[in-house]
Structures are given as structure tokens and as C-alpha cells.
Amino acid sequence: MSEITEWSDEQIRAILFDRQGLTKYPGGLPVAAGARAIRDGDILAKETTGNTVIVCKRTELAAAEPQTETLILVDDAHPFEVADVVQIGDEATTLNVVSLNYDTNVITMGALTHATGQDVDAIFHVAALAQDDALGIALTGVYKRDAAASGLNVDLVTPASTVFYGDIAITGRFRLDQLRNFRAGNVMDTSLGGLELADNNTYVISTPSTNYSQT
């Protein structure tokens, strides 16, 4: 690990239910400079070119989407960036992200060409380079702290001059309500292969995701 070790252990405990069964990605993975910030509890993906870790670019629609809609309301816009090429639901049509409001989770798309609207909870994702394939869970945050302190959410990016190595849990027991942009039963849950224990607010991953060995 490099500068990420500055983070306190209390933040790790906030995500973990306990340390039983905890396995981390060996040696971590480099976080691409200038990428969207990695928050503790984020679901992470591994880009297949360069093997860099990013926030998993997959979320769900927070409202039904009319056929002509260009302003898309999602559960969590945080992982996405301008110029991302996304797909909605099971459509093959790809759409370009024009702008984002990270505070309201509204994403402005280019001209839509798909034929039908999508319902609440339809998948909104970036399929290229496996950017939407869940790998593990971030135990520690990696972001530009000056931007965070000023409240400028749009600037929550990793520093351009530093390569961090993410602290990524691939198995373990986690506090269910501390996982970001995550809902039991959705595709990220399926990819991680975990078990939801809602009665004690726990999410258990006993074996690494099938995306662990992607190259």
C-alpha cells in the first residue's frame, strides 16, 4: 500500500461486520489517476486493459424513463463520467453521457435512439472493458481530500499525480447498510455471489467473485 495507509482503521471497521473470513485482493490494484473517487463501501470493478480498479459503473434507474427522456435519474451517479458510453436495461443501443449532477443523481444523455422506455430499477451501466463487473468492496476511501473538504462533489477524483493501491475485500462479512449503490438481488449482488443476512445487517461473501480472474 502507498498513501492509502494514511486512512484510519476505524473506517475499515465501519464497512466490515468483523474480520472473520476477510480476504483482500493480493497487493491491491492501482487506481487510475484522475478517476472518480473510490468511497469506502463502494463496489469496485477491474478494467480489463491496464488492470486498474474503478468504482463499478453500474447502477439502476431511480424513476421510469419515458421514450424521449434525455435526463436520466439514477440511484447513484457517482461512478460515471462525461463521455461514458452506457447501456440502459437489456437494450443493445449505446448512449453517451453529456453531463452529470452528482448531487441530484441526474445524468444528461445525448440524443436517445432506443425504441422504448425503461422501468424503475432497469440497469444503467458501462459494459466496455468490464467496467460494470463487480470484483470486490472498497475498505478505504481514495479521493482528493481538498475537494471533499470544500464540498465540491463534482471534483471527487483521485489526485492526478499519485498512484494509489486500493484496499479491496474480495471475501468477508460486511455491514449491509454500508455498501454503496448496492441492493440485494441486483446484478452486482449476483456478481459478488454474497449472502444477505438482513436480520443482523450483514452481507457475507465466502468465495471471490467470478470476475476476480478477469484479464
DSSP string, 70-109: -EEEBS--TT--TT-EEEETT----EEEEEEETTTTEEEE
Question: Grid coordinates in use for 98?
Answer: 453529456
Cβ-contact 97, 82 below 8 angstroms: yes
Q: What is the mean pLDDT of residues 110-128?
A: 81
Positive or negative, the CA dihedral 199, 122, 211, 167 is negative
Express each pLDDT in 33-76 by its tens digit. Answer: 778 888 889 999 998 887 888 999 999 999 888 767 788 999 99
3 state DSSP class of 118: strand
The predicted pLDDT at position 148 comes to 62
Cβ-contact 127, 91 below 8 angstroms: no
Give which of 161, 100, 174, 92 is closest to 134, Cα–Cα: 174
Cβ-contact 178, 14 below 8 angstroms: yes
Give which of 134, 136, 141 is closest to 12, Cα–Cα: 141
Q: What is the mean pLDDT of residues 9-23?
A: 77
| pTM, two decimal places | 0.86
Domains of the chain, with CATH numbers? 3-39+138-213 (no CATH), 58-125 (2.40.30)
Cβ-contact 42, 138 below 8 angstroms: yes
Express each pLDDT in 172-188 by its tens digit. Answer: 999 999 999 999 898 89
Q: Calculate the alpha carbon distances from 162 to 13, 141, 142, 144, 165 in Å.
A: 26, 14, 11, 10, 10
What are the φ and ψ backbone dihedral angles of 100, each rounded to 5 degrees? Answer: -140, 145
Q: What is the CA 14 to chain-centroid distance, rounded?
A: 18
What is the maximum alpha-carbon separation in the chain?
A: 49
Length of the chain in residues, anyone? 215
